[in-house]
Structure 1
Amino acid sequence: MTNITLVRGDITEQEVDAVVNAANSSLLGGGGVDGAVHRRGGPEILAACRELRAGHYGRGLAAGAAVATTAGRLPARWVIHTVGPVFSAEEDRSATLASCYRESLRVADELGARTVAFPAISTGIYRWPMADAADIALRTVATTPTEVTEARFVLFDEKAYDTFRAALPGGPAGGTADGGPER
Structure 2
Amino acid sequence: MHNILRGRISDFDNKIEYMKSTITSIQDYPVPGILFRDITTLCEDARAFGLTIDMLYEAFKDVKIDKVLSSEARGFVFGAPLAARLGAGFVMVRKPGKLPRETMKEEYQLEYGTNELHMHVDSVKEGERVLCVDDLLATGGTIIATIKLAQRAGAQVVGAAFVIDLVDLGGAVIKSRPNAA
TM-score bracket, normalised by the shorter chain, equals 0.3 to 0.5
* Higher share in strand: 2
TM-score, length-normalised on structure 2?
0.41
Whose RCO is larger (CA < 8 A, sep 6+)? Answer: 1
Larger Rg: 2
